[in-house]
Structure 1
């Protein structure tokens, strides 16, 4: 945020002439503008992210009736539970089944329907001890997020404004790493400690807090970009070029094109029962929580996949012939490319599920820290206004710092900025916007000065 005062906090500007060729004046001005213009987007991202962190626990409270049941004496066959769910939703198409992974958990039977948006499903929650359908909810994505978590997720991702809204989160993720690295350079390169009261104390809090959470903020910036609308394409291209894409079961074995997030096929279960398929998968080593994707059409296979995203990650999968029960192919998480594993772990850690509650607490602390730094930054900006009895804005660091840079250094900076602008388009467009605003402000001030002469 606005640690543009890092050197100004202790001595007057006139007493601190910048060394010729120093990048510090340029960093101060850039950090100032990022704090002023990107700060609101970072604030919304941090606040909505903070709301999202504990939504799994919140859902278990809000949807306790659907998600949990009293523990009974013996569970009904899984196929009977699926049949009960199909009777409750006769106009929907069966897609997947998630047996409860705890004694008090319901079985989730997941359906598609033509009127649902892509990646949205109807999920029936079935009591495994009685086969009673305890309720249905519209769920979202591979995590089967309920309505509350879906609403907060869409708020964090795009402010409920569709693809246009996603620009806000991409802007925040694109600039967050620049803000963090710039702040670290400014703080580490300060000439004397920023101690005292008022603005100096705020500066110390702002910089010390930022330094403490810098690594996590950089991680959130990088993983956030993988989900973004435009920079995400760049990440996908890089992963493809490095053969780091997430592998899939051979199409000839699984033929699971109908099991994708946007498919509304499936539902024609023939041959082996779901119970038999589950037992075969267990015998193939797929323990823990699993999801069973039913055949999309005659001749297709069941696909059973582990869905444990906490550490250690369990994401093995197997394709099973519904007629013979033969395991046609298996895919082990251990065989994933390093890049695919890192992507999986990065996404899960970003969502707060990789290490469970400690992961959630860490993210919550970092979100609160970022919110505090933004507030302190704006407060420091207010302290920098010309007089305390006016509503004038705080002064940015003086313009023209780039003119003092050696030409080779300036050319290198321009080249680096152009590369990042190309691969992070939202960063590039907004950088041009900052430059236009800065130029307009400079010309306006120059015109006023000339008019006063």
Structure 2
């Protein structure tokens, strides 16, 4: 009897198995996940590889944005702060001084000081200012000195406006908005798909602690996956919030969100600025008259209970009232507004934040949260942690891909050799079409990922069939006959 020789056992890196064993039939209550799991894992992988760079850029630029309040104080301290004096000048005197510094401008907004050591902001439209920007004069309310004249984007000073544009568009205009919409559209999908895959994987192995915390004893790709999964789980809620609030600013999805809010009456209420019939009041542009009217309407608003900080908006057309509105975007939010007759100081209409639709209040709070101003410094710290966490999770994801790259022997594709069922692919395709109606960038890219995965599976199948059909050489044929 000849001695049977067994082939040597290959030494491989010890790591966590790629997934639970595939058993005959379907476990009761988990058939839906058995169908979806391969597709979810592949989708998570493809999105991570191809959309990951956009999310990484959004996280890095968002991290920069969180520190802009401190950056403003560092760069524009002279424009923002003044020595505290004894008596503040009337707005009419401050407006006159600002108009002299911006002689070719038209006043569009006046913001009285928000603190005793703050400047008054007087905003103008002026020739030579970039689109969507205005020119703002910062005036010492005690002396009337114009401390600075800066081009601003809304209330943002130049440095913050530049970083804001970098975060939203990469300074590429409307074309650049696609990048941020792609990142915001897929961030929530990555958060949910990753959470589902990670939580189900760990639950089946009774590893609750390791679901929430990384495995320090693991090595190689298992260690990287442990950090990627546990950190992603902790960050998931924050990623969902950033995605939902970020989409409200996006180009395509944002327009659909605005249309939906209008249809459901979730929009921000506006004051009625129509003056009584026959008032004959015309819009004023002369700086001295604008300043005198600003004093009048501000006194009327404060007498009616409107507290600082506020912005005064002159009438843009004849027959319109002036508006005085609160502009506090941190808790407690102050967003009340009043329409005031500029000739008589009569309050014609009042809109209270408490009377806004609930979803309009939530949208305002969500946007402030996204910008890091809802909870002040605490909000900034939370966003910094979230941004750093997202950066780390993305980099860990790429490290996992590198450790599992196809050129390494013994590696497998995402979800191993399991293939998603036709039902899972069909349902996901229908979902992609449905999402595409409301979130066009997400829907189109999801269909592209499904097509890519289907093509990849077809190519792999064809390659395996060709390999099986190749004729055997003499050595291989002899070995086959001897078995």
- TM-score when scaled to structure 2? 0.83
- Whether the 8 Å contact between 2:19 and 2:415 is mirrored in structure 1 is no
Q: Specify the alignment match of 1:314 in structure 2.
A: 334
Cα deviation 1:135-193 (Å, max 9, x = unaligned):
1000002xx10111111101110111111110011011111111111111111111334
More deviation, 232-241/187-196: 187-196
3-state SS of the aligned residue for 1:354?
A: coil
Q: Specify the alignment match of 2:88 in structure 1.
A: 75
Indicate how the Cα distance of structure 1 residues 124 and 216 shifts in structure 2: closer, same or farther if over 3 A, else same. Answer: same
Counterparts of 1:359-438 in structure 2, within 5 Å, are 359-386=379-406, 395-398=413-416, 401-403=419-421, 407=423, 411-438=426-453
Is residue 229 of structure 1 aligned with residue 242 of structure 2? no
Is residue 164 of structure 1 aligned with residue 175 of structure 2? yes
3-state SS of the aligned residue for 1:244?
A: coil
Is residue 130 of structure 1 aligned with residue 152 of structure 2? no
The partner residue of 2:184 within 173, 179, 193 is: 173
TM superposition shift of 1:386: 4.3
Cα deviation 1:311-336 (Å, max 9, x = unaligned):
11101111111111111111111111
The partner residue of 2:456 within 441, 444, 449 is: 441
3-state SS of the aligned residue for 1:330?
A: strand
> In the comparison of the two structures, how many residue pairs are matched?
430
CA distance in 2, matches of 1:421, 1:43: 24
More deviation, 83-92/392-401: 392-401
CA distance in 2, matches of 1:291, 1:112: 16
CA distance in 2, matches of 1:123, 1:65: 14
Is residue 295 of structure 1 aligned with residue 322 of structure 2? no
CA distance in 2, matches of 1:312, 1:396: 47
Indicate how the Cα distance of structure 1 residues 19 and 145 shifts in structure 2: closer, same or farther if over 3 A, else same. Answer: farther
CA distance in 2, matches of 1:18, 1:236: 50
CA distance in 2, matches of 1:225, 1:297: 33
Q: Specify the alignment match of 1:262 in structure 2.
A: none
Is residue 36 of structure 1 aligned with residue 49 of structure 2? yes
CA distance in 1, matches of 2:316, 2:86: 34
Q: Specify the alignment match of 1:113 in structure 2.
A: 126
Pair member with larger Rg:
2
Q: Specify the alignment match of 2:347 in structure 1.
A: 327
CA distance in 2, matches of 1:203, 1:242: 43
CA distance in 2, matches of 1:174, 1:138: 32
TM superposition shift of 1:14: 9.3
- Whether the 8 Å contact between 2:328 and 2:334 is mirrored in structure 1 is yes
Indicate how the Cα distance of structure 1 residues 294 and 14 shifts in structure 2: closer, same or farther if over 3 A, else same. Answer: closer
More deviation, 434-443/34-43: 434-443
- TM-score when scaled to structure 1? 0.88
Q: Specify the alignment match of 1:61 in structure 2.
A: 74
CA distance in 1, matches of 2:344, 2:68: 41
Q: Which runs of 5+ in 1 are unaligned?
A: 1-7, 256-264
CA distance in 2, matches of 1:377, 1:352: 27
State the Cα RMSD in Å.
Answer: 2.5
Cα deviation 1:241-266 (Å, max 9, x = unaligned):
211111101142499xxxxxxxxx97
Indicate how the Cα distance of structure 1 residues 323 and 418 shifts in structure 2: closer, same or farther if over 3 A, else same. Answer: same
TM superposition shift of 1:12: 5.3
Is residue 246 of structure 1 aligned with residue 246 of structure 2? no
3-state SS of the aligned residue for 2:271?
A: coil
Q: Which runs of 5+ in 2 are unaligned?
A: 1-13, 278-282, 471-483
CA distance in 1, matches of 2:385, 2:15: 27
- Whether the 8 Å contact between 2:340 and 2:346 is mirrored in structure 1 is yes
3-state SS of the aligned residue for 1:252?
A: coil
Q: Specify the alignment match of 1:336 in structure 2.
A: 356
